[in-house]
Each structure stands twice: as structure tokens, then as C-alpha cells.
Amino acid sequence: MDKWLDNPWVLRGVALLLALLLFSSVPNTDPKRPGDVNVPSDSNVETIADVPVKSYYDTENLVVSGVPETVDLTIQGPRTIVQQTRALKDFEVYVDLTELEIGEHQIQINIRDISERLTVTIEPSNITVNIQERVTKEFSVEAEYNAAIIGDGYIAGTPSIKPKMVEITGAKDIIDQISFVKATVNIDKEIREMVTRDANVLVLDKDMNKLNVIVNPETVQVTIPVESSKKKVPIDIVPKGTPPSGVTIDSITSDVKEATIIANPDVLKNVDKVRVEVDVSNITEDTEVTLPVIISNGIVEVTPETAKLTIKVSRQEEVTISNIPIEVSGQTDEYEIQFVNPENGRTSIIASGQTEIVTALTSADFTIVVDVTGLEEGEHSLDIQVSSQRNISWRLADDKAELAIIKKEV
């Protein structure tokens, strides 16, 4: 046995056999060679979401629709390469449309500048694109806003837009669908004065669907003029109550004759005046008072809000003027007149008015008459008529006079 082991050829054979055993135990990592490939510890799968898609075509003359903005990639391969690719993203996902004609096409999304050792899946991978002629047209912009933001009693004029015209670029068939170009003003509070806001331009079809076009400029400046809905109306002075006994209200005047009211137009057309109410039940002398101007429902504002009233009064006094002769008119020469009641042909008047006037009255300030025109002989009861040049009130002690008409003897 020892001699067999001492043989150098035997030792060489054993060494070769051990070498072969060791070599066969090493795993095969070359993917091009048969055998076990990529043991789990060396392989990885990752998904990269929202990868931008680059489109290549004549952007000056054509418009393309149907190309997604992003896609999702699934990459599989050696762990280190997968991780490096996911971190750097130094690849490009693209579609090349440069050789395609106008119309609809089924195409594949491609990827380049990525390791050949990776297996790549693109989702979506196949898409339908529509290539159209690129068209640019000018359109006028219409301003739009919620009328509810205009305060009560205020009205909005026609909005102005700067610029009024915008350029819209897109596929010809999309441009042909344009029915509305609007700039919507978003304001979340009530307004009572002119406002200016920037507003995005919306391009819509006849069904108010937003169209995929390019607008230049994308925003415009909208100015909404707002002014009050107003008019001037007279101020009506309304006395309330009854003056105290012996007091006469000679005049009530206001320092303002008109007021400006603000209300919605449908309210304004039915309002022709405002009023100031003054209680005269406690007025005993000349007075100045400041009182509110009263408005009806629906009026938002009144200017001025108050009025200063000047009240002129006179105190009244009652006096009796007695022994005033009763004159007879219409008497003919063939008759004589005899008073039966009052027997002396005189009566009294109770006069009332301003103290300084009535206290100076005399019987000469009154003319008292009974008219016998056309009356025949006999006794008659006649109305007593009174006239005076003074601005006073009066009443007679007796409203009638009884007299006898007697024919004279020849």
C-alpha cells in the first residue's frame, strides 16, 4: 500500500480528481452558458412608476394625441444592475413618429440606453396615436362670473378683458370643435366696487367639454365694473299725533329736500319717495329736531340717513268779540226790517288764532250780514254770513238771525 502511494503517477491522478471535483462545485453565472442561471440571491425585479415618454415628430406642423405622458417599467436582472438603473434612470422611453403620416396608427413604446442584461416590460407597451395637422387660430374671450357675488343694490356692467383675443393651437379637428372660449372669474366674497382679476382661459366644445389645446396667453385680465343702482327721490315730511291744545303747527321744513336711495332695479322702480316722521304731540314752541330718513323694504342704503327739521309753531288763543252789528243786504225801500233774535241786531264771534292777532281784534275786523233779497213780508230765519281779512278761525254765538220784514205804510 505504501509503495502504491509512493508512486508519483498515482499522486498526480488523485490531485487531478480533486481538482475536477472542486471545479464542478462552482456555480455557473454566465447567462449564455447552459446550467443553473442567476441564483435567487443575485437576481431582482423592480417596478419604476411614472416614467416620462418622449415623443419625436414635427412639432411645428403636427399635433399628436394618444401618447401617454408616463408609463410604468418593470425591470428584471442582476440585483446590482437593477438597483443602479432604478436609481439613475439614465434611459429613455420614447415613441418615434417621424416617419408616420397624418392619421391614426398603432405603435409600440420603445426604450433605449438601458443594460442588455435587463429584461424590461413597459405598461402600456402598445398605443393608438392620432397625428393631425397643427392649426393656430385667434378667438375672442368671453368673461364669466357668478352674478350672486354682486351686492344687493349694485349692478355690474359689461366686463372688459385684456387681451380680448387669444391664440389657440391644436389639431385641426379639435380646433373645429371650439364653441366657447371663456375666462371664469373666481371671487368668493360679495363685491360692491370694480374688481380686476386674472382668469384662466377655458376652451370648450358645444357640450361644455374641455378641449385639449394650447392657449396663448393662458390667462387674461378681467375687469368687472360695479356701480350702485340708485336714484334721487323727494323726502316727505309726515307729522304724527295732535299738537297740544292751544298750539298750531305753522310749518315744518327740512334742511334736505331729496335723498339718494340704493336698491335693486326692480325695487327702485316702485319707490317714488322716502319719509321723515315727526311726532308733534309734544311740540309747544319753535323747535329743531334731527330724525332718521325712513326707507321701505328692499332699499339697501339711503343718503342722507337723517334730516334736520325746523318746526315753527304759534300758540292759539280764543277771544270773544261782542256787540258786532248785523248788516242787512237786499233790503228794498218798501220794506223795513226788525230783528226778533237777536233783538238788538247785534251778535258775538268767538275767534281763535295766534295770541298776538286775536287779542287785537275788534268788531271792525268782521263783516256780518244777512241777505233778505227777494223775501216777502213776514218773519224769517236767515243764515248769518261772516267775512274777515284776518288769518284766524271763528265761530258765531248764533248761526241764524230771526227778523221780520214789514211793509211800510204809504
pLDDT, mean of residues 276-290: 93
CB atoms within 10 A of CB 7: 10
pLDDT score, position 276: 96
pLDDT score, position 68: 95
Sequence-distant (6+) residues with CB within 8 A of 357 are 390, 391, 392
Look over the chain and give the mean of its residue pLDDT values, rounded to a whole number: 87
pLDDT score, position 77: 94
Nearest to 357 by CA among 314, 323, 399: 314
> Would you say 229 and 262 are in contact if contact means Cβ atoms under 8 Å apart?
yes
Instruction: Give SS3 for 54.
Output: strand
Name the burial class of residue 277, with classes exposed (0-12), middle (13-18) and buried (19+) by CB atoms within 10 angstroms of its CB: middle
Query: Rounded CA gap, 173 and 102, in Å?
Result: 12
pLDDT score, position 35: 35
Peptide bond before residue 325 is cis, with ω within 30 degrees of 0:
no
Locate 222 and state its grid cell. 378681467
pLDDT, mean of residues 47-69: 93
List % helix, strand, coil for the chain (3-state, nearest 5). 15, 55, 35
pLDDT, mean of residues 208-215: 93
List pLDDT tens digits, range 150-195: 888 888 999 999 999 999 999 888 999 999 999 999 888 888 899 9
What residue has cell string 223795513? 336
pLDDT score, position 36: 37
The dihedrals phi and psi of 303, each to the nearest 5 degrees, come to -135, 125
Position 99, amino acid: E
Structural domains in the chain plus CATH codes: 40-132 (2.170.120.30), 141-228 (2.170.120.40), 230-315 (2.170.120.40), 317-407 (2.170.120.30)
End-to-end CA distance of the chain: 214
> Would you say 259 and 306 are in contact if contact means Cβ atoms under 8 Å apart?
no
pLDDT score, position 39: 42
